[in-house]
């Protein structure tokens, strides 16, 4: 596992470019690709303006925009955790239907947002700020409620008497939680829309927030989390407002305005549900240990932090703190010291994937790559199809020169994770290293496409199609895909010119 997957790269947050990209996507989908979203009279604004197929396409385009403009988390362990937590909330709520995709944005900001087709993003900074897993689950439940209550469709209906460009701009803003009380941000998002229209939309969003609180608390309780966690988190965020009077509010406080009435209402709604004091999962604490390590730029300082916190018993979970200490020792290349720590953790929990992955990485770095691969293979037999293990085993095989085995492993799992950029990146490398250059270019094209980069995706398919040895069926499939990519490019260019 590359060290970079434990440590965040210093890349500035670009909310404005994200809004521009999403605005472009929404407008293109509204006017292009044969999607008739002509603002029909749908009666009940809680009904959906989109057919399932249309919403799915909008969701895919939304995620490509997110990948292009934001730093979507790449660490498979972190990605798997947030998806698992979100799935637990969904599966415990019989009234929640439809598909959901939970993902992380590698950014220290405290925020979360819900997009079309059940795409829910959470910033790593929000996880680091929560004090309990119930608090984190409460934010996810809140965003799930935005989806189940059709707030995007309601938003579109609430502006359906505006001209289409203005409606699309406001919808794009709400999708990423950017309709705030910040006048500068509001002017950017609106780009000329009348102030009254913006204020109307902000007020409409506030009513959505109240409804999402109520539904979210019910979802939270149904999954056996503490129903008061949402109110507790809001209360703590509200108190933090005093610290930001002279500066910019955290994004969470802008996109989820916290008032005394809202906090009181959340506490009141929590009382309607049975109280549960549920211990956090070990995975929650392990994820927080990884994020804490990222916050400390110097590996030696990270080792000192975890060592001193263990000595002084300054931790919420000792086992997770030991795990963080082991990771810090690995980054400091103190392998001999990290080994007994990880072996003790594995001895107590041999099935824990975090420990298996860290130990396999340690073995590889310490000259025992074959042993690390075998450990990952055993884990795959225990957890067939596991997403993090699939990617880490593929990485280990590629490093060992076993590209053919890595390719077979990844292609077996691709149907389960068809839009995962990290899966396609590894497939491209594996195919190229086996000598199948055309297939490598094909997978690289898909990587660029799902990353939101149409131009390099088109270029890679064009390169693949130059292969004279390409079988007819593969050539036909790539030609159709290339036609789709070029059509999307032309539609986006058309939107830019307007």
Among 249, 270, 291, the domain-final residue is: 270
Q: Determine what percent of the chain is predicted with pLDDT higher than 90.
A: 55
The residue written with tokens 């965040």 in the block is: 8
CB 202, CB 179: distance < 8 Å: yes
CB 186, CB 180: distance < 8 Å: yes
Kindly report the CATH number assigned to the domain that includes residue 466.
1.25.40
Taking Cα atoms as reference points, which of 131, 296, 340, 336 lies closest to residue 305?
Answer: 296
Confidence of residue 66 (pLDDT cuts 50, 70, 90): confident
CA distances from 295 to 111, 285, 328 (A): 17, 15, 12
Among 220, 247, 270, the domain-final residue is: 270
Q: What is the structure's pLDDT at 448? A: 96
Q: What is the structure's pLDDT at 149? A: 83
pLDDT higher for 453 or 372? 372
Specify the 3-state DSSP secondary structure of 169: helix
| Residue 359 annotated as lining a ligand binding site | no
Encode pLDDT of 182-193 as tens digits. 434 433 444 444
User: Does some domain include residue 357?
Assistant: no
Encode pLDDT of 167-178 as tens digits. 444 554 555 444
Taking Cα atoms as reference points, which of 153, 157, 141 lies closest to residue 102?
Answer: 141
Q: What is the CA radius of gyration of the chain?
A: 24
CB 482, CB 490: distance < 8 Å: no
Q: Determine what percent of the chain is predicted with pLDDT higher than 70.
A: 74
Encode pLDDT of 446-496 as tens digits. 999 999 899 999 999 999 999 999 999 999 999 999 999 999 888 877 765
Compute the C-alpha angle 55/57/58, nearest 5°. Answer: 60
Contacts of 58 (CB under 8 A, 6+ apart): 25, 26, 29, 50, 116, 117
What backbone torsions phi and psi does residue 131 show, to the nearest 5 degrees? -105, -15
Among 270, 288, 304, the domain-final residue is: 270
CB 343, CB 374: distance < 8 Å: no
User: Does some domain include residue 478?
Assistant: yes
Q: What is the structure's pLDDT at 412? A: 95
Contacts of 150 (CB under 8 A, 6+ apart): 46, 47, 48
What backbone torsions phi and psi does residue 422 show, to the nearest 5 degrees? -65, -30
Q: Give the residue ranges of DSSP H helices in 193-257.
A: 195-222, 229-240, 251-255
CB 453, CB 481: distance < 8 Å: no
Beta carbons within 10 angstroms of residue 13's beta carbon = 19
Please count the helices (runs of H) and the strands (runs of E) in the chain: 24, 3
User: What is the count of structural domains for the chain?
Assistant: 2
Q: Tell me the C-alpha distance between 471 and 295, whole Å.
A: 49
Q: What is the structure's pLDDT at 65? A: 80
Q: Tell me the C-alpha distance between 389 and 358, whole Å.
A: 11
Beta carbons within 10 angstroms of residue 282's beta carbon = 15
Which tokens sit at 489? 């490019």
CB 179, CB 204: distance < 8 Å: no
User: Does some domain include residue 470?
Assistant: yes
Q: Tell me the C-alpha distance between 456 and 438, whole Å.
A: 15
User: Does some domain include residue 206?
Assistant: yes
Q: Give the residue ranges of DSSP H helices in 38-75.
A: 52-69
What backbone torsions phi and psi does residue 310 show, to the nearest 5 degrees? -70, -40
CB 447, CB 424: distance < 8 Å: yes
Structural domain for 146, as ranges: 3-270
Q: Tell me the C-alpha distance between 244 and 82, whole Å.
A: 29
> Strand order of the sheet with strand 101-105?
101-105, 119-123, 112-114
Spot the catalytic one: 107, 213, 319, 420: 213
User: Does some domain include residue 387?
Assistant: no
Spot the catalytic one: 107, 135, 143, 235: 143
pLDDT higher for 298 or 278? 298
Catalytic-residue membership of 143: yes
Greatest distance between any 2 Cα atoms in the chain? 69
Q: What angle separates helix 454-465 from helix 472-497, to the nearest 10 degrees?
A: 150
Poorest-pLDDT segment among 41-45, 439-443, 463-467: 41-45
Specify the 3-state DSSP secondary structure of 105: strand
Torsion of CA 213, 219, 225, 227, to 10 degrees: 40
Encode pLDDT of 426-436 as tens digits. 999 999 999 99
What global pTM score does this model have?
Answer: 0.81
Compute the C-alpha angle 358/360/364, nearest 5°. Answer: 115
The residue written with tokens 């979970």 in the block is: 317
Encode pLDDT of 192-241 as tens digits. 444 445 445 545 566 777 888 889 999 999 999 999 999 999 888 777 65
Q: What would the DSSP string read from start to end of 322-351? A: HHHHHHHHHHTT-HHHHHHHHHHHHHH-TT
User: Does some domain include residue 406?
Assistant: no
| Residue 95 annotated as lining a ligand binding site | no
Which tokens sit at 471? 């079988």
Question: What pairing do the DSSP bridges indicate for beta strands 119-123 and 101-105?
Answer: parallel
CB 135, CB 225: distance < 8 Å: no
Beta carbons within 10 angstroms of residue 401's beta carbon = 11
Report the range out of 46-50, 392-396, 448-452 with the highest average pLDDT: 392-396
Q: Tell me the C-alpha distance between 22 and 363, whole Å.
A: 43
| Residue 209 annotated as lining a ligand binding site | yes
What backbone torsions phi and psi does residue 259 show, to the nearest 5 degrees? -120, 165
User: Does some domain include residue 192?
Assistant: yes
CB 107, CB 116: distance < 8 Å: no
User: Does some domain include residue 216?
Assistant: yes
CB 103, CB 121: distance < 8 Å: yes
């Amino acid at each position: 596992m590359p060290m970079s997957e434990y440590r965040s790269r210093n890349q500035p947050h670009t909310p404005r470019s994200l809004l521009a990209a999403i605005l472009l996507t929404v407008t293109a989908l509204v006017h292009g690709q044969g999607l008739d979203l002509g603002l029909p009279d749908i009666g009940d604004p809680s009904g959906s303006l989109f057919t399932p197929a249309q919403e799915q396409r909008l969701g895919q385009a939304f995620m490509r925009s997110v990948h292009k403009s934001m730093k979507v988390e790449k660490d498979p362990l972190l990605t798997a955790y947030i998806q698992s937590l979100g799935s637990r909330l969904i599966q415990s709520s019989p009234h929640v239907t439809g598909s959901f995709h939970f993902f992380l944005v590698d950014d220290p900001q405290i925020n979360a947002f819900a997009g079309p087709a059940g795409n829910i993003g959470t910033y790593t900074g929000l996880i680091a700020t929560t004090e309990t897993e119930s608090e984190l689950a409460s934010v996810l439940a809140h965003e799930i409620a935005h989806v189940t209550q059709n707030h995007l469709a309601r938003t579109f209906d609430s502006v359906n008497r505006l001209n289409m460009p203005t409606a699309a701009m406001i919808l794009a803003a709400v999708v990423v939680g950017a309709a705030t009380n910040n006048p500068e941000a509001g002017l950017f998002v609106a780009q000329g829309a009348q102030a009254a229209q913006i204020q109307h939309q902000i007020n409409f969003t506030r009513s959505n927030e109240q409804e999402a609180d109520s539904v979210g608390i019910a979802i939270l309780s149904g999954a056996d989390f503490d129903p008061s966690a949402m109110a507790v988190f809001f209360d703590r965020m509200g108190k933090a407002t005093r610290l930001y009077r002279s500066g910019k509010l955290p994004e969470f406080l802008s996109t989820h305005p916290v008032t005394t009435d809202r906090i009181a209402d959340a506490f009141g709604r929590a009382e309607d549900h049975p109280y549960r004091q549920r211990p956090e999962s070990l995975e929650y604490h392990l994820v927080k240990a990884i994020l804490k390590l990222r916050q400390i730029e110097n590996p030696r300082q990270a080792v000192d932090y975890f060592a001193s916190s263990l000595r002084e018993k300054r931790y919420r979970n000792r086992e997770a703190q030991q795990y963080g200490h082991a990771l810090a020792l690995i980054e400091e290349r103190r392998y001999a010291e990290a080994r007994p720590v990880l072996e003790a953790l594995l001895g107590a929990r041999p099935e824990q994937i975090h420990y298996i992955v860290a130990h396999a990485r340690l073995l590889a770095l310490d000259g025992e790559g074959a042993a690390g691969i075998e450990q990952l293979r055993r884990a795959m037999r225990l957890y067939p199809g596991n997403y993090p293990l699939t990617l880490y085993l593929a990485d280990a095989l590629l490093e060992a020169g076993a590209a053919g085995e890595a390719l077979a492993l990844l292609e077996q799992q691709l149907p389960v994770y068809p839009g995962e950029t990290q899966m396609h990146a590894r497939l491209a490398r594996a195919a190229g290293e086996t000598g199948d250059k055309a297939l490598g270019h094909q997978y690289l094209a898909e990587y660029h496409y799902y990353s939101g980069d149409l131009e390099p995706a088109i270029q890679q398919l064009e390169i693949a199609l130059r292969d004279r040895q390409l079988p007819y069926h593969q050539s036909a499939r790539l030609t159709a895909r290339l036609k789709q990519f070029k059509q999307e490019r032309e539609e986006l260019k058309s939107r830019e010119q307007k």
